[in-house]
Amino acid sequence: MPITQPGLTANYVAGEWQSGDACEKLPVTDPATGETLGAVPDSGRADVDRAVAAAVAAFPAWRRTPVAERARVLFRLKALLDQHHDELAISLSREHGKNVAETWGEVQRGIENVEHAAGMPTLMMGDALEDVARDVDCATWRQPIGVFAVITPYNFPVMIPLWFWPYAVAAGNTVVLKPSEQDPLTHQRVVELAEQAGLPAGVLNVVHGRQATVAALIDHPDVAGVSFVGSSQVAKIIYERAALAGKRVQALGGAKNHMIVLPDADPEMVADAVVGSVFGSAGQRCLAGSVVVGVGDAYGPMREGILDGAASLKVGRGLDDGVDMGPVISRAHRDRVNGFIDEGERDGARLLMDGRRLHVPGYPEGHWVGPTVFEDVTPAMPIGREEVFGPVAGLARAPNLEAALEMLAASRYGNAASIFTNSGRAAREFRYRAGISMIGINIGVAAPMAFFPFGGTRNSFYGDLKAQGRDAVSFFTDQRVVISRW
Ligand code: NAD
């Protein structure tokens, strides 16, 4: 039953919206106005137990539902998401803060995963081979596994859950989702639409909460596998804890993405791509550019282009017309980003543009950080090494591509990296040697589409099978191999 009135956010268990046992409610606020939009229960073990029990109970019948019927639910969900696209984008802008063009794009990326997962009848086919020995045949069958836990971050609260649960359920599994407690309202609407599309009770369940909720979910003996996206520190904890319990786990973590600009790159294209990457979503993207390395003579024009582009950005409430960059998610996060800027200054990086103490007229309670640009950033400084997750560019210089690649190699993160050049040879060398999972060549945000794998390396990813694409099908199924002689 839909519960779309504002403020009422509940767990979704066995097809029912339940307020749960939690006494504590976690507020959800509009980051531009500070207005309270709702609250979610900080669910405990009993709530998690109920959600997992519902998923366990729903599994046998859902698994036996023909795969084409399971896929048809996703086709209907895709149509409903298209129909409600604008409404979802506006709701998402209100609770997250980014502008409506950005949230519209996020919803679109989510829909593309629903579309891709709807191809499950062909995606989960097995292989077969006759005469592997005399009169012996061999075949693989992909089967669903059971109950999966999906735990997601605040920065893409509609899209990231859709990296996982549509694939899991299309393959015949059931799911318990724990969305970010900071902006869970719009995905709640997606869950209502899934119900409307005919997803049976118990196939997808939602429990809200924080650390203790996640721990109860991961430790639950009936949870077979865990998909996680969030900061590296938490991703590592999740990976270790789930692996120790013998579960399959994919844990996507944080990032410190480098962008390398060669002297033969088109300066205008570089400025557009870098400014969009660093300041889009107020820097709160795991694919956001963070350190921008100008090689040789590229540095001067690159620096000017980025400063001009950053100065032209209008900061404000994402729902207002003409706004390029919204607030960051919370007061605590604004203070954290400002802390990195303070530290960068103390460490001797040159602050060329300072976004601290920004006031946006009409929004005194907003969590504002304006575009910020440093130069002379080095890997020895936290501003050049740690994930800031805010609208801060760190410019650096390198004498040649070799030196720029060394900077990349020194980072403990390995999510995304981009090169800007007109040289096919330099681009090939970069792709070959960068050692980073998502690579942009003349692209500022190297975001793989739904049919390609999404995830990093080093401390940006713990596991082996990534999100989206064929990896998602492998993660949510097990291959049974049958060898037969008649
Ligand atoms: P976060 O790690 O604080 O939280 C992620 C999820 O884990 C939330 O649901 C949260 O409630 C839960 N959680 C928080 N602390 C926990 C703990 N100690 N134990 C168990 N669960 C815990 O991340 P966030 O601030 O919501 O999101 C931003 C981070 O996510 C950034 O580091 C960003 O780079 C990363 N991210 C990565 C990708 C990727 O593809 N690699 C994509 C999006 C975001």
Residue 3 has pLDDT above 50, yes or no: no
Residue 413 has pLDDT above 70, yes or no: yes
Regarding the beta carbon of 387 and ligand 1, being less than 6 Å apart is answered yes
pLDDT digits (tens, 9 = 90+) for 290-347: 999 999 999 999 999 999 999 999 999 999 999 999 999 999 999 999 999 999 999 9
Q: Who contacts 293 (Cβ-Cβ below 8 Å, separation ≥6)? A: 258, 259, 260, 261, 395, 396, 397, 398, 404, 407
Burial class (CB in 10 A: 0-12, 13-18, 19+), 358: middle
d(CA 203, CA 110): 19
Quote the pTM value: 0.98
Q: How much distance in Å is there from the Cα of 230 to the middle of ligand 1?
A: 2
Query: Sign (positive/negative) of CA torsion 360, 361, 363, 364?
Result: positive
d(CA 292, CA 289): 7
Residue 179 alpha carbon, nearest atom of ligand 1: 9
What pLDDT sits at residue 21? 78
Q: For residue 442, how many other CB atoms are within 10 A of its CB?
A: 15
Share of the chain above pLDDT 70, in %: 98
Average per-residue pLDDT in the chain? 97
pLDDT digits (tens, 9 = 90+) for 382-406: 999 999 999 999 999 999 999 999 9
Nearest CA to ligand 1 atom 6: 153
pLDDT digits (tens, 9 = 90+) for 60-110: 999 999 999 999 999 999 999 999 999 999 999 999 999 999 999 999 999
Nearest CA to ligand 1 atom 30: 230
What pLDDT sits at residue 8? 57
Residue 407 has pLDDT above 90, yes or no: yes
* 247 close to 224: Cβ distance less than 8 angstroms: yes
CA 335 centroid distance within chain: 22
Radius of gyration of the chain from Cα atoms? 23
Regarding the beta carbon of 237 and ligand 1, being less than 6 Å apart is answered yes
Q: For residue 246, how many other CB atoms are within 10 A of its CB?
A: 8
Q: How much distance in Å is there from the Cα of 251 to the middle of ligand 1?
A: 10
What pLDDT sits at residue 1? 37
Residues with a known catalytic role: 286
Please compute the mean of the pLDDT values over residues 263-281 and round it to a whole number: 98
Nearest CA to ligand 1 atom 36: 230
Residue 387 alpha carbon, nearest atom of ligand 1: 32
pLDDT digits (tens, 9 = 90+) for 417-453: 999 999 999 999 999 999 999 999 999 999 999 999 9
Residue 5 has pLDDT above 70, yes or no: no
